[in-house]
Amino acid sequence: MKHKRFYAILVFLIAIISSISCKNKEDVEPQLSVSKTEVSSLAEGGTSEITITCNDKWSIGNFASTWLQLSQTSGNSGSVTIQLNITSTNATGATRSAVLVVSSSNGQTRRITVSQATFIYPSYNTSPQAPDATGMSSTAVQLVGKINLGWNLGNTFEAPGGETGWGSPVITESYIKFVKQCGFNAIRIPSAWNWHHVDNPATAHIDPNWLNRVKEVVGYCVKNDMYVLLNIHWDGGWLENNCTKAKQDSVNAKQKAFWEQIATTMRDFDEHLMFASANEPNTKDAAEMSVLLSYHQTFVKAVRSTGGRNTYRSLVIQGSTELFNVSNFPTDPTPNRMILESHNYTPFQFCGLGEDASWGKMFYYWGAGNHSTIEPERNPTWGEEDEQLKGFKLLKEQFIDKGIPILMGEYGAFRKGSGPKDMEKHNASIDYWITYVTKQALANGIKPFFWDTGGALDRQNNTVKDKRTIDAIIAGGN
């Protein structure tokens, strides 16, 4: 009997101990909690706080963001408050978000979604006008037919700090007249707008002083019967380096805002002024080309929406001729006003390379009769006359023969003051390339704009600095 009573007591004690043990086990069950699962921020950014509570080690894994920073990404048992710092204004044109995944060593996870609103750029088409065809009668083909030889103002209006930022003097009307006297009747003005001249990034507002200065120079040209190609150039690469789905919405928003402002400011000029959507947009496949075409479509729509003479203005677009053709040009409500722009620095190892690169060495010599026997290793291995003829033939057949005229918005080959051992052959090569390319472009109906940053024409004194280059262009034009 005593034994039975003992065993009963023992079983009772075991049950109590087991109950206590289970209760302790429940007390230390894995715990992970966050004070918020969603955090929203205004477009201008700012700081928010969340509290993470855990009874084990925790971390926020695989987190990477250029616009969101965390004061702490890991911790131990206990509660900790971390700061979420949104460090930049969201001027992308679309809401952006990041998901923080908090994981503990006990196997639990929690997710926190952080989102930042975007500024919606205001419409700058605040005073659209009725269509005005005064001075706008030429189709794109007819207009390009009036251009003989074109001249670039180089990176003058691309420079940081304004047009003198890279050493160029202020462009004057006397300089424009001098360019015309040298044999050119068209000017290309490569311009930055976003890079240095937006006075409010939140609204993509362009400094009106800059708009008016560019307008003044356009006026110099039009007043002197010079045709003008005004563009959005490299401009920090916001468009031409972002022909991707990820950037499509934000770039289109900025493209619309900029061209509404540019087009409205320049609206009263007649057909002497052409607008160019971009410069040298980077596309490597059909998907990126499709995104670029959306940028061009936004450009066309924005310009046309401002009305007045812009209803009829000739518009210029760019892109890889291997990835698009006349069938997928932007839709334009005004017929026969679209132009294609191409550039020509073929072969770049001769035309533009300033030092040997890993992918190729500089060529000092070019063209039949100009190869050096003194320095044969610097003769070209590709890109001579046959390559030029092939390229021009493709452009003519693919576009010009189908009603789309072409401007060669940039081209050039430039002398090396030192380096070539056979300097006579080198200079003859530069002369020949310029004359040959100018001549072949014109023979195929393509109007060339020579690239110059002040090396051929002195902008300060309105004198010719490199007579051989000017003579070579004129010879090709004749």
Q: What is the CATH number of the domain that holds 75?
A: 2.60.40.10
Structural domain total, the chain: 2
- Between the CA of residue 50 and those of 82, 101, 252, 295, 318, what are the distances in Å? 6, 13, 35, 40, 48
pLDDT at residue number 61: 79
- Residue 157, pLDDT above cutoff 50: yes
Residue, of 289 and 4, whose pLDDT is higher: 289
Are both 111 and 147 inside the same structural domain?
Answer: no
Are both 203 and 104 inside the same structural domain?
Answer: no
User: Considering the chain, what percentage of its residues have pLDDT values greater than 70?
Assistant: 92
pLDDT at residue number 22: 44
Are both 390 and 452 inside the same structural domain?
Answer: yes
Our separate counts of H helices and E strands in the chain read 11, 21
pLDDT at residue number 97: 85
> Within a domain: residue 22?
no
- Residue 23, pLDDT above cutoff 70: no
Rounded to an integer, the average pLDDT of 280-306 is 97
> Within a domain: residue 175?
yes
Residue, of 62 and 477, whose pLDDT is higher: 477
> Within a domain: residue 27?
no
* Predicted confidence (pLDDT) per residue in 388-412, tens digit: 999 999 999 999 999 999 999 999 9
Residue, of 327 and 348, whose pLDDT is higher: 348
State the average pLDDT for the chain.
92
Range of the domain at 79: 32-116
Percentages helix, strand, coil for the chain, rounded to the nearest 5? Answer: 35, 20, 45
Are both 112 and 145 inside the same structural domain?
Answer: no
Distance between CA atoms of 386 and 374, rounded to whole angstroms?
24
Are both 45 and 179 inside the same structural domain?
Answer: no
- Among 58, 82, 116, the domain boundary falls at 116
Looking at residue 23, its amino acid is K
Are both 46 and 170 inside the same structural domain?
Answer: no
> Within a domain: residue 144?
yes
Residue, of 89 and 370, whose pLDDT is higher: 370
> Within a domain: residue 305?
yes
Are both 190 and 148 inside the same structural domain?
Answer: yes
Q: How confident is the model at residue 65 (pLDDT cuts 50, 70, 90)?
A: confident
Comparing CA positions, the residue from 445, 407, 400 lying closest to residue 229 is: 407
> Within a domain: residue 9?
no
For the residues of 188-239, what is the DSSP string, one character each?
A: EE-B-SHHHHEEETTTTEEPHHHHHHHHHHHHHHHHTT-EEEEE---GGGTT
pLDDT at residue number 21: 47
Distance between CA atoms of 292 and 254, rounded to whole angstroms?
14
Are both 226 and 277 inside the same structural domain?
Answer: yes
Are both 280 and 372 inside the same structural domain?
Answer: yes
CB 153 within 8 A of CB 189: yes
> Within a domain: residue 133?
no
Q: How confident is the model at residue 16 (pLDDT cuts 50, 70, 90)?
A: low
CB 219 within 8 A of CB 60: no
Residue, of 417 and 1, whose pLDDT is higher: 417
- Residue 79, pLDDT above cutoff 60: yes
Q: How confident is the model at residue 45 (pLDDT cuts 50, 70, 90)?
A: confident
Tokens of 345: 């620095």
Are both 161 and 307 inside the same structural domain?
Answer: yes
Are both 66 and 174 inside the same structural domain?
Answer: no
pTM: 0.81
* Predicted confidence (pLDDT) per residue in 440-455, tens digit: 999 999 999 999 999 9
> Within a domain: residue 282?
yes
* Predicted confidence (pLDDT) per residue in 196-234, tens digit: 999 999 899 999 999 999 999 999 999 999 999 999 999
Sheet with strand 74-75: strands edge to edge: 38-41, 109-116, 96-104, 58-60, 74-75
Rounded to an integer, the average pLDDT of 262-281 is 98
Q: What is the CATH number of the domain that holds 337?
A: 3.20.20.80
Are both 406 and 374 inside the same structural domain?
Answer: yes
pLDDT at residue number 174: 98
